[in-house]
Amino acid sequence: MSLPTVFVCGATGTQGGAVARHLRAKGAEVHALVRDPSSPKAKAIESLGVKTWHGDFDNEDALKKAIAGCSAVFLNFMPDFTDLSANLRQAKSILSIAKDAGVKHVVYTSGFGPGVAEKSPSWDPEGIIALILASKKDIEAETRASGLKYWTILRPGNFMANYIDPFVRMYDGLVEKGTWFTALSEETVLPMVDTETIGAFSTAALLDPERFHEKEISYADEMITLGYILKKLSEVTGRELRAVTLSEDEIQEQSKTNKSITAQLVMRHMSDLVDIDEVKKWGIPLSTFDAFVEREKARVLATYVKSS
C-alpha cells in the first residue's frame, strides 16, 4: 500500500503536530500552512520534513497550493471565539478545494456531541460551548457529504495535555492556588487521551482509508477519576492539588461569564460515550496518565512548581 500525501490542518498545534510527527515517522509526506514561517513551531515541523506554505485557512490561494498533490486531508480546528462561524466556513472551503484537487480521503478530528451536556440542568443551548459543539456537528455532516471516496470522524476524549501549561490555565486556581473550583467532582470519571495517541489513531486512519471508511470513533486511552489525576500530579510535584465542587447555584451563576464552567458540564458525562473495550479492538497501542506524566515530567514540574 503506497503512503499518502496528507494536508494536515494545525500542524504547528497540539493535535495536528502529533499527526504530522506520526505521519512523518511512517514516511508519509505532509503538507501544511503556517501563519508565521519564521516561528519556532513552523521551523520545528519543517525540520521533520513537513512542506509548508505561508497562509491561513481563509487564504484560498495558499490552500490550493498546499493541498495540490495530496491524497488525504486531516481536518482539525481551534474554535475562533471572535467568529464562531469560521471553522465551518473553513472546513467547507478545504473540502471543496480537496475534492477539486483529487483528494480521496478526509479524516476529521471532532469532539464529543452536545447531547451528553444537555443532561445538566445548567446547560445553556445558546451558550458559547453549545455553539462550538454545534459547529463540530455541522463539520461532521460536511465530512460525510464531502463527496470524497473515504471519510472518517474521530472524537478524542479529555486531553491529558490540558493538565499542564499552557492549557491548564483554563482550570482557574489549580496552578496558582492548588485548588480548582469546578463543576466536576473528584469522583467524576474522565476518558483521558494522550496527544501521542491522537497522533497514532489519526495516522492509522489516514494510512488505511478502507478500514476506517465511514467510521465514527470516540476514543480514549483510559478511564480515570479527576481525583486520581490530581493525586498523581500531587505525588510528582510535591504539592497538594484538589478539586472543590461548586454547587448547582454557583455553576448556574458562573456559567454566565465563565466558558470553562460550561465546558465542564460536557466533561461530566464524557465517559458515557467511550467503550474502552471497543477502542482496544482497533489494535492501536494505548497509553496511561501515569505514562504521560512520566514522559512530560519536566513540563509538569515547570507548570506546578516553578509557576506556584
For 94-130, the pLDDT digits (tens) are 999 999 999 999 999 998 765 565 655 556 777 777 8
DSSP-derived secondary structure letter, 3: P
H helices, E strands: number in the chain: 13, 12
Domains plus CATH for the chain? 5-303 (3.40.50.720)
Ramachandran angles phi, psi of 19, nearest 5°? -65, -45
Helix (H/G/I), strand (E/B), else coil: 81: coil
**214, 151 contact by CB (below 8 A):** yes
User: Residue 74 pairs with which residues in a beta bridge?
Assistant: 8, 107
Q: Which of 19-28, 98-107, 251-260 has the lowest mean pLDDT?
A: 251-260
What's the pLDDT at 122?
58
Query: pTM for the complete prediction?
Result: 0.94
Return the percentage of the chain with pLDDT > 90, whole number: 81
Tens digit of pLDDT for each residue in 194-219?
Answer: 999 999 999 999 999 999 999 999 99
Q: Which of 4-13, 125-134, 174-183, 203-212 has the lowest mean pLDDT?
A: 125-134
Mean pLDDT of the chain: 93
What's the pLDDT at 255?
79
Q: What pLDDT band is residue 148 in, cutting at 50, 70 and 90?
A: very high
User: Residue 244 pairs with which residues in a beta bridge?
Assistant: 181
Q: Which of 50-54, 212-216, 248-252 has the lowest mean pLDDT?
A: 248-252
